[in-house]
Amino acid sequence: NARCGADNTDFDEHYAKISSELRELQKKKTQYTEQEARQDSFQRRIEDMKKFLDTADCKLSEFDNQLVRQLIHNIKVVSKDKIIIKFKSGFEMEQTLSEK
């Protein structure tokens, strides 16, 4: 009977280790799936942007609000002479403003 108790302890320890490894693998799988979905979404946005730019008239003579809304997520004013433009693709661009 003492041996049976030792076997149960070994089994419990082994079971706990395997359960922990399984939870960790499930967590990694979830993270991978989420990352893959973000990459797919990013790729779709890039493709949409490419399609739009391919069909757009690149000779802009005036402000095009539709173009701005399709490409830019937001513009952050850092200071009176610097802004950060964040595109919907996730790309960020820092721009220095000059006085005229």
pLDDT in tens, 33-91: 999 998 998 888 888 878 877 776 666 678 888 888 888 999 999 998 999 999 887 88
Q: Whole-model pTM?
A: 0.46
Q: What is the DSSP string of the chain?
A: -HHHHHHHHHHHHHHHHHHHHHHHHHHHHHHHHHHHHHHHHHHHHHHHHHHHHHHS-S---S--HHHHHHHEEEEEEEETTEEEEEETTS-EEEEE----
